Structure 1
Amino acid sequence: MAKQLDYHTIREIFDRFHAADPAPEGELAHVNAFTLVVAVALSAQATDAGVNKATRTLFQIADTPEKMLALGVEGVTEHIKTIGLFRQKAKNVIKLSQILVEDYGGEVPNSRAALQSLPGVGRKTANVVLNMWWRYPAQAVDTHIFRVGNRTGICPGKDVVAVERAIEDNIPVDYQQHAHHWLILHGRYICVARKPKCGACLIRDLCPFEDKTL
């Protein structure tokens, strides 16, 4: 775990991220808040590309909780069987759809606690939905952000909650909205787990990671 970087270095890092990609977006396909919740819940232990492939036809016929319920567990399973843990995920999608219909009038709630009460929706999923749909600067910490945060010293922490807090505490407010997307994309495509692509890294000169590649 690298030492926490100072404010000026973090500011420079996000200045560069912003210059390269002013408005980064999540890569999960969705058409409304409901399909976003479902997509993010399905993405656990699966790639965004894999989820998008599985939901392409699913969301064409079931873009509301009511339509999803009409499909039933077997119908949802048939659409998502190419992704990991699909049987349990199909059950969760039906359960959360039922809760949304019965308790929220078919609408997706926009509080973290309410979102986390839905089956298959944890803090990370709730934060993704709050950030991507309602544009609230919630920080969804996944394995990519955890790795990048600790390697670079941007937001070090022993667990995902600590890293989330470090992002909120140390990244300038004007960069909070897009912070987790910049960090996810950086970890997904540049600061990868086994052989980070340091030669192509925008922030190589600011990063204290000792095992940089050529």
Structure 2
Amino acid sequence: MTSSLYFKRGVVLALATTLAVALAACGNKEAPTKVALDDQDVLTTLNNYVQTSQLNCVAMPVAFNTPVEKKYAELKEPNGAQLAVLVKLGLIAEQPAEAGKVEFVPTDKGKEVYDGLQTNPPLPGFCSGTLAIDKVVSTEAKESGDNYNRDKVVYTLKLDNPAAWASDADLRKQYPDFAKLVDGAGKDHHDAEIESRGQGWRVIEPNALAK
């Protein structure tokens, strides 16, 4: 009888000790690392990301040297109103093409700000100034594990050295997303998810995020 009692007490003590160890382990679990708002590595990563996003560019609606109708300003496809405003601003010029049509080439002014936009299909575009991070508003730890962190970063943008043509009313009307970006500089919040595996941060492209 006494032996059985000691055995039961031993079992209870062992269970209590195991529970205490488990609770202590939970209490000592590291919290996800929170990115500092002034983390220079994060700022550099975000700046590289937004500077290649080409959000500060307006797309050329048709490939160069592609014949279109002479009355292109009335066209819906390609966007004739966009072509007309780019001609008006001196970024492209029209020239005669076969069958009484016209085609477009970049002007010297246009070549200075020309870049390839990541559209489908790829079309050339004209970029205004340099897009950069204005400030990091907040960060939120999303995931943390062995040598891995994933965070959501909210930030505002600034547009340095904008081109004079970027303020043209007709251009703003024909490129509303571009106008929204310009008007929202320093105010509108943008967000991105970044991850680190112990060797700096990188931006996770939206289509790479887990569903």
Q: TM-score, normalised by structure 1?
A: 0.28
The structure that is strand-richer by fraction is 2
Q: Indicate the structure (1 or 2) with the bigger Cα radius of gyration.
A: 2
The structure that is helix-richer by fraction is 1
Q: TM-score, normalised by structure 2?
A: 0.28
